[in-house]
Amino acid sequence: MSELTAAQRVAIARHPQRPNITDYIDALFNNFFEQKGDRLCGEDGAVLGGVALYHGRPVTVIGTRKGKTLEENLNCNFGMPNPEGYRKALRLMRQAEKFRRPIFTFIDTSGAYPGLEAEERGQGEAIARNLMEMSQLTVPVIAVITGEGNSGGALALGVADRVLMLENAVYAILSPEGFATILWKDASRHEEACDLMKLTAPDLLRLGVIDDIIPEPEGGAHLAPAIALRQVDRALSRHLAELDKESGKNLAAARYQKFRKMGAAAPEKENP
């Protein structure tokens, strides 16, 4: 599907029937036990997390949640987490660290919720704290961008030893519409923005932002979800086996250096 444009990949990444976090949990994990609440303020339906078995091994699974119907979307705020969601995710990651469980995160969000009430409850601080504490974890962390991965709302679950992307997923600092609005004051130029943003999996692999691309069935994961889920399972198993060979201290040090060096592969601008 290399002939697809960046804008076409964005459209596929946003398809409402694309597999979401609940599909991945149902297909890849056993005995999932959901854990709710941040123990500070409340529960956020836009982040789903808990403990499960992955091929018989205890792991922690966390993901941003979008619905496939209007009712589901409303219940999980269209996949845009509030601070409570990020604090819940951090609570689960600290628990995973304590009990030495690997962490899998599944990212599909247009960004953190930008509402005034979210900012009043510390949205920026919650995201920043996740970035800091994820960088110090000594258990394997694997993040998978399954659809959209936009802004700090995605990065708050993305500081991982391995960052994987589905073939038609996108990962960027903000939505193409937002980019076009800021750059040209014209959201209708979002397709042009898609090309400039370098948000596709091949672009980001070349730039060193991600570590692997997970193939999708022809036309997108929503057309043959069983095949897509098997591909994700293979990728998770392979990368987890590689990370298991490293000590916790080495994992944290390598993860820190990975993000420090991110973008070093970007081509330098020519002098005018």
Token pair of 2 as six digits: 């290399």
Q: How confident is the model at residue 189 (pLDDT cuts 50, 70, 90)?
A: very high
What is the pLDDT, as a whole number, of residue 40? Answer: 87
DSSP string, 63-102: EE---SSHHHHHHTGGG---HHHHHHHHHHHHHHHHHT--
Q: How confident is the model at residue 272 (pLDDT cuts 50, 70, 90)?
A: very low
What is the pLDDT, as a whole number, of residue 68? Answer: 86
What is the pLDDT, as a whole number, of residue 34? Answer: 96
What is the pLDDT, as a whole number, of residue 67? Answer: 85
Average pLDDT over residues 160-189: 95
The CA distance from 172 to 174, in Å, is 5
pLDDT at residue 213 greater than cutoff 90:
yes
pLDDT tens digits, 81-91: 999 999 999 99
pLDDT tens digits, 39-51: 888 999 999 999 9
What is the pLDDT, as a whole number, of residue 271? Answer: 47
Average pLDDT over residues 117-142: 95
Q: Where are the beta strands (DSSP E) in the chain?
A: 30-34, 47-54, 57-64, 103-109, 141-150, 162-166, 170-172, 212-214
What is the pLDDT, as a whole number, of residue 269? Answer: 53
- Alpha carbon of residue 107 to chain centroid: 2
What is the pLDDT, as a whole number, of residue 265? Answer: 58
Q: How confident is the model at residue 262 (pLDDT cuts 50, 70, 90)?
A: confident
pLDDT at residue 204 greater than cutoff 90:
yes
Average pLDDT over residues 233-259: 96
Average pLDDT over residues 118-139: 95
The CA distance from 204 to 218, in Å, is 21
Largest pairwise CA distance in the chain: 59
Average pLDDT over residues 141-151: 96
The CA distance from 150 to 78, in Å, is 13
Sign of CA dihedral 13, 16, 17, 21: positive
The CA distance from 94 to 114, in Å, is 26
Q: Which amino acid is at 72?
A: E
Residues in the chain: 272
What is the pLDDT, as a whole number, of residue 243? Answer: 97
Assess contact for 171 and 111: CB atoms under 8 A. Answer: no
What is the pLDDT, as a whole number, of residue 237? Answer: 98
Other CB atoms closer than 10 Å to residue 272's CB: what's the count?
Answer: 3
pLDDT at residue 80 greater than cutoff 70:
yes
pTM exceeds 0.85 for this model: yes
Tokens 């659809």, residue? 147
Average pLDDT over residues 174-190: 94
Of the two residues 23 and 268, the one the predictor is more confident about is 23
